[in-house]
């Protein structure tokens, strides 16, 4: 009797315990389920427009707005073929080429100048260093529209209008304080023993920069290059102000031109070209996500 009672008690308490454990487990499971539902629903709403754009590019024009389906009833490449020809005497390929004509110099110059300047800020004593650093932060917060008109007049004076120079020349002077700031933060977080060792071995400061700083900064440099690439490819106001002849148009202006010319008409062409326009950004992003997340959390990023 005794034994069986003890046994029964034990069983009871075990049941009680496991029931509670099951309860919390179930609670967690329900919580996770709701989280997934929220994430999937919001994600679907967010990505639907993008996916729809790609699918609409393959649809015949009459079908685009009449069906919500993401699957074209009949596949048509017309949007791409006709869109590529554009309404101008140039193909869309030309506008792609033009875009990279200034985006690539912009990225390279930004990286080089920002790394050199960040190295100076992070590792050297500089007269009035605090003042220069404050100006750096101030330029990040300064609304660029206040500089627009005088800069335009300046480049006009230098005869650089309707060329890509105004778009990338300033980048040679570390004018995007944000990137410099991000690199300084990164450098400050790194120990200097390697540099000290190299110095004892007789490296000068420039050799230090090339052989030690640049390799360890690599992930941050890639982040800078990627962000600058994205922002430059997407930039619209810059080209709008400085580029006036169609033969020099980048993608951004070409797209704007296409919706102005064919008002309310060939949506399949317009959406096909818009799809092509964002492909480089998406491919670059998917290939190098890690650097975006690192860069964004190291310095924080607008966008």
Partner 1 sequence: MYENRRLGLAYISPYIIGLIVFTAFPFISSLIISFTEYDLINTPEYVGLDNYEYMLEDDTFYQSMWVTFAYVFLTIPLKLAFALFIAFVLNFKLRGIKFFRTAYYIPSILGSSVAIAVLWRAIFSLDGLLNSFIGVFGIEPISWLGEPVFAMFSVTLLRVWQFGSAMVIFLAALQNVPQSQYEAAMIDGASKWQMFTKITIPLITPVIFFNFIMQTTQAFQEFTAPYVITAGGPAKATYLFSLYIYETAFKHFELGYGSALAWVLFIVVAIFTAISFKSSKYWVFYSGDKGGK
Q: Does 207 bind partner 1 (CB under 8 A)?
A: no
Task: Rule CB under 8 A: say whether 149 interacts with partner 1.
Answer: yes
Touching partner 1, residues 71-110 (CB under 8 A): none
Answer for which of 101, 139, 165, 246 binds partner 1 (CB under 8 A) is 139
Interface of this chain with partner 1, residues 269 to 298, rule: CB under 8 A: 270-271, 273-275, 277-278, 281-282, 285-286, 289, 292-293, 296-298
Nearer to partner 1, 27 or 218 (CB): 27
- Residues in CB range of 185: below 8 A, 6 or more apart: 298, 299
237 three-class SS = helix
Q: Is 75 helix (H, G, I), strand (E, B) or coil?
A: coil
What's the closest the beta carbon of residue 3 comes to partner 1, in angstroms?
Answer: 38
DSSP 168-195: HGGGGGT--HHHHHHHHHHHHTS--HHH
SS3 297: helix
DSSP state of 213: I
**Is 190 one of the binding residues for partner 1 (CB under 8 A)?**
no
**Measured from the CB of residue 8, what is the shortest distance to partner 1 in angstroms?**
33
Helix (H, G, I), strand (E, B) or coil at 238: helix
Stretch that binds partner 1, among 6-14, 44-52, 77-85, 89-97 (CB under 8 A): 44-52
What residue has token string 């220069």?
132
Q: Rule CB under 8 A: is residue 200 a binding residue for partner 1?
A: no
Please, which of residues 163-182 interact with partner 1 by CB under 8 A?
A: 170, 172-175, 180
**DSSP structural state of residue 87:** S
Asked whether position 31 contacts partner 1 by CB under 8 A, the answer is yes
270 token code pair: 């317009």
């Amino acid at each position: 009797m005794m034994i069986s009672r003890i046994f029964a008690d034990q069983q009871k308490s075990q049941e009680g315990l496991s029931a509670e454990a099951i309860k919390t487990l179930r609670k967690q499971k329900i919580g996770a389920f709701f989280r997934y539902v929220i994430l999937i629903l919001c994600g679907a709403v967010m990505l639907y427009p993008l996916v729809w754009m790609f699918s609409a590019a393959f649809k015949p024009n009459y079908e685009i707005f009449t069906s919500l389906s993401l699957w074209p009833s009949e596949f048509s490449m017309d949007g791409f073929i006709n869109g590529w020809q554009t309404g101008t005497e140039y193909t869309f390929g030309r506008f792609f080429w033009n875009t990279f004509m200034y985006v690539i110099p912009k990225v390279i110059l930004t990286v080089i100048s920002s790394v050199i300047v960040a190295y100076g800020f992070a590792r050297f004593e500089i007269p009035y260093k605090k003042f220069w650093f404050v100006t750096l932060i101030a330029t990040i917060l300064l609304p660029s529209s206040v500089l627009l008109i005088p800069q335009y007049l300046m480049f006009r004076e230098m005869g650089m209008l309707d060329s890509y120079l105004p778009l990338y020349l300033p980048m040679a002077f570390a004018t995007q304080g944000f990137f410099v700031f991000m690199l300084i933060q990164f450098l400050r977080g790194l120990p200097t023993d390697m540099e000290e060792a190299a110095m004892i071995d007789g490296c000068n400061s420039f050799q230090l920069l090339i052989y030690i700083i640049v390799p360890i900064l690599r992930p941050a440099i890639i982040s800078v290059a990627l962000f600058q690439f994205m922002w430059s490819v997407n930039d619209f106001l810059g080209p709008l102000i400085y580029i006036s002849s169609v033969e020099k148009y980048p993608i951004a202006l070409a797209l704007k031109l296409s919706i102005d010319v064919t008002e309310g008409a060939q949506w399949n062409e317009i959406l096909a070209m818009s799809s092509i326009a964002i492909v480089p950004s998406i491919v670059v992003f998917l290939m190098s996500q890690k650097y975006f997340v690192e860069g964004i959390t190291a310095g924080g990023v607008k966008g």
